[in-house]
Chain A
Amino acid sequence: MLHKCMFSGSGGQGSALMAKMVCLGAIKENLKVVMTQTYGIEQRGGDSTAYVIVSDEPIGSPIVENDADIAVALSQSIYGNCFAGVVPDGMLFTNSSMVDNPKESDAFKQVFLPVSDTAVQLGTVRCANMVMLGAVLAGTGLLKLETVEEVVRETIGNKKPQLVELNIEALRSGYSAMKKES
């Protein structure tokens, strides 16, 4: 098993936190995981991308070079970049609340979910990243939902226990929305 992922968003959308949750979850499932920082253009401005590689074997190149099989675009400004970074047969998850005029792709599958709107309905737009993460888990089987819930309890529970349930609800709603979709 080998997954190369890119999690992209604009300032404050929490794409880096999504990536970190995946990394910590992967360790819980006894997988190897590597995360690298962004290089190049995306470093500028408020956009950021966290690259994560998850595998059940020692990981070779730690760099994701336009060969992600799982990509997440939380905002308009990084959508194009994500679109260009996905391999044939990969999956691009797009936040349709924020991205207008998406492109068409025959080579890879695109999933559009209004995760910002869902998050607002749940109480705060800030948990859009968790809604999306739930969808990614459902759509790709990257990690088990329960594993990530455990990570949420441990990491968020440490600092802001009052936010644990909200984030778990967000994860679950993304997960079930994606299950319905497919």
Chain B
Amino acid sequence: MAQETLFLKNTEAFAESLARCGVKYHFAYPITPATDVMKRMAVILPAYGGEMMQMESELAVSSALAGAACTGKLVATSSSGPGLTLMHEAIGFMCAAELPCLLVDSMRVGPGDGDILGAQSDYYVATRGGAHGDYHTIVLAPSSGQEIADIVPTGIKLAYTYRTPVLFVIDGVSAQTTESTTLPAYHDYSAEFDTAGWAFTGTQDHPKRALITGSYSHQDGYDLNEKLRAKYATIREKEQLWEQEQTEDAEIVVVAFGIHGRMCRDLVAKMRAEGKKVGFIRPISLWPFPELAFAGLPDSVKNILVVEMNHGQMVDDVRLAVNGRIPVHFLGKTGGDMPMNTLAEMIAEANRILGE
């Protein structure tokens, strides 16, 4: 496949980007608003010598994903909140087992079966994890079709460098948005990594290997956790990703990811035009959370406004990052015909805080 610019739904942009960057096997179970990823994968993967396997549940999806990941090949899945909830057994397992794989969560309104409209309500379950134990999943939040295409290679590199699952999250509104996206030419990014040292391929070229996440001794449990602790510390230190604009002299900084993060560009342009000193930070890696962006904020910043399509989840991480240094405000909404705050509402709230 050559590089080309297509007009795609962002779910389809995910499918195209995953396939063009080397994903061979995709496992999934239908759920709105993520089904379009698996539908497109079913059509395009055979041309790449791969296959989309529809499984009977998300539990089976994630277990099949783990099984396939054991081979060292690049594998992926796509789902939405209720499905992601069911996948946590395997996600925790894959973190313990140090298996690379890619997951896409097209977030909808929760809790329970929820509503198929878009939301950002899986921030907690994505970044904190829904399984037991001390583990972390790398979480990346692209905000447009182009960013999906650009960030999938990063996700693959992170998954293989650190041998760990990488979860892409996108709100369902962005997922259903159709836009122009320049897709890369085919390049298998996983081929840049040698998996011969750990993959379970049979003993023809290595002595017996066994994938064991249970501990035979208490020391085993300790050792595994210490190893993971060191790995997560490295990721925290080296892999924070964010976009930041006009914070140098800002009095208020708006923090948002995904679609609201993208809207911040317009917010800052409009408010700066009125002489308001506004900047924004758009976290791209949600775990590791971009704490460095906050450490570098100047003293001019008197307030932070966090905007999310939920009732306040990432706002916790912002508060931890500023550690009481700057007051943190929150604006959020989930569900309804328009399942998010509008740009006008964001600007009004920022102005209200500025006027206080």
Contacts and interface: CB of A to CB of B under 8 A. Distances in A.
A89 to B, nearest CB: 16
A147 B295 CA distance: 49
Question: How large, as a class, is the contact surface on chain B?
Answer: 20 to 34
B104 to A, nearest CB: 19
Nearest to B345: A65
Interface string A74-91: 000000000000000000
Interface stretch (B40-48, B80-88, B336-344): B336-344
A40 B176 CA distance: 16
Contacts, number: 65
A99 interface: no
A35 B179 contact: yes
A27 interface: yes
Interface residues of A, number: 23
Interface in A50-76: 58-63, 65
Nearest to A31: B180
A23 B146 contact: no
B343 A24 contact: no
B180 A32 contact: yes
Interface string B257-291: 00100111110010000000000000000000000
Given A40-B337, A58-B146, A63-B342, A23 B263 contact: no
A22 B339 CA distance: 27
Contacts of B259: 62
Given A32-B179, A61-B263, A65-B342, 8 more contacts: A26-B180, A32-B180, A33-B180, A34-B177, A41-B337, A60-B262, A60-B264, A63-B263
Interface of A: 20, 23-24, 26-27, 31-37, 39-41, 43, 58-63, 65
In order of increasing CB-CB distance, the 3 nearest A-B pairs are: A60-B265, A60-B266, A61-B263
7 contacts: A23-B178, A24-B7, A27-B5, A27-B6, A37-B177, A59-B179, A61-B265
